[in-house]
Structure formats: C-alpha cells, structure tokens
Amino acid sequence: MAELEIGRLLRASTTACVVGCRVSQANAPAFGGLVRIPLDDGYGIYGLIYDIRIEDDGLVRQLVTAERIDEDVIQDNRVNRNVPVEVSVLHVGYRQAGQIHHLLPPRPPLSLDAIYICGPKEACAFTEAGRFGYFRHVLRAADLPVGELLAAHIQLLHRYHAERDNCGWSSSAVQELITLMRDDYPTLMTVLGALSDISA
C-alpha cells in the first residue's frame, strides 16, 4: 500500500511534534490516528494525532464578514496562502533496528521531516508490540482530551485488528486502561464514558 504523507514537521520536542500540511492533505489525518515519522537508519517515531488546528489570519477574518465568498477565494486561501493546517502529534514509541518500543523516542524529528499515516498492518504491528505500554504517554499528557483520544484510537484500531481476525484486541486494550487508571477514578470514568460511545 502506498504511503500516505500527511505533511512536514514544523516543530518538535521529545514528547510531541506539530506537523504542517496543505489543505489537500488535510483530508487524510484523523484524530486518534497513528502516524510514523521515518528518520535515518531504520529509526522512526510513532505518534498519535491529538489535535488538528486550522489557524486564521487577518485576511481570513475579514473574508468571513462578507456576504458571499466565491469558490475562487476559498481555493486561493486553501491552496495558495501559507496558512497550513497544523496537526499535533503525541509521541508514543519508536522503531529501531526492526524493534518497536513503546518508549519516548531518543531523538525528536527535525524540521521538514515527512510524516505518514500508518496503514492497518503497521498500526496493528505497533499496537500489538508489548503490552499497551504506549497508553501511559496519553494518560500522562496534560491538557489532552484523553477520553476522546483513546476512544477514537481504539475505535480505529479495533477495525484494523478485526480485519485481521483479532477481535479481542479492543477488549484487552480497555482492560489495560482500567488497570492503569484504577487509582484515578474520575479520569477512568471519563475514558470509559467516551469508550461507551464507540459503536460496535
């Protein structure tokens, strides 16, 4: 399956990064989706999309006050004007020398590194490695919509795993979350509440 590039890196730290993408690419990334940033020598970083942001600027704010906006103007702003969609990614692991680790990456990515959507096979490989260790990066992150993020992620991966006859994956994931959050009842209830909205 051809890799789907969603954008290029704007800024990064050890724990997260922000990717800029053109509006035409913006149809691809989804909240909770798993992405990969391939770097050198078989080293690559995995991340979860936790925010997708479209910034405005003075001109856009002015355009919205007009009675009517021509399609040409809309296309001009989406295609030509340098206001990229910003996709925020939480680092949840990395691959090195063929091994997947659910640890924070030893080195962050660099400016303009390309970032790709993980296809079903790759996503399943990442989420099956270890014992859901990457969940702690989500649970530890401050100011994230933890419940909704995990729900969206599990919903997506449930579909991928089901296609591979691994329908028990999502149940195992939820069990792990309950174990990890047994001492944080309010957050656990938030997460379980979001998970309960997942349609079967």
Partner 1 sequence: MPVNFQQALQQIREMGKQATQEQRRLEERRAEAEVLFLQFANELDTLEQLVDRAAAENPGLRCARPLKEFLNQTFTTPPLEPGYTLLAADGSQINPDRHAMVEFGAINVGAIRLRPGQGNGNGSSQAPEEIVQSQMMFLKDLFTASGSLLTDDLVALKRDLAERQVLAELARSGPAPVVALTDGPLELFREPKGMPEFRDGLEKYKQVLHELADLEVATAGYVDRPRGDLIVRLLELVILERRGQLNRAGAERPLLGVYDTYLFRQLLKPGQRSAVTGIHSGSAQSFKDRLALHFFYLNVGREGHPYFSRVEIPRWVADNARLLNLLHACLLAQAAHLGARPYPYILHRAHEIAVITYDERNQLENMIIAELRRQGVPVDERSNKQIAKDTRYSG
What residues make contact with partner 1 under the rule CB under 8 A?
59, 62-76, 78-81
Closest to partner 1 by CB, 3 vs 70, is 70
Q: Give min distance, CB of 155 to partner 1, in A.
A: 30
Q: Give min distance, CB of 24 to partner 1, in A.
A: 10
Q: How many angstroms separate the Cα of 40 from the Cα of each of 44, 113, 139, 147?
A: 8, 11, 29, 34
Closest to partner 1 by CB, 85 vs 115, is 85
In three-state form (DSSP H/G/I as H, E/B as E, the rest C), the secondary structure along 81-135 is CCCCEEEEEEEEEEEECCEEECCCCCCCCCCCCEEEECCHHHHHHHHHCCCCCCH
Q: Give min distance, CB of 65 to partner 1, in A.
A: 3
Q: Which residues pair with 53 in a beta bridge?
A: 86
Q: Give min distance, CB of 58 to partner 1, in A.
A: 10
CA–CA separation, 137 and 123 (whole Å)? 17
Closest to partner 1 by CB, 11 vs 107, is 11
Q: Give min distance, CB of 135 to partner 1, in A.
A: 41
Check if the beta carbon of residue 170 is closer than 8 Å to that of residue 157: yes
Closest to partner 1 by CB, 14 vs 24, is 24
Q: Which residues pair with 85 in a beta bridge?
A: 21, 54
Q: What are phi and psi of 145, to 5 degrees?
A: -80, 75
Closest to partner 1 by CB, 80 vs 199, is 80
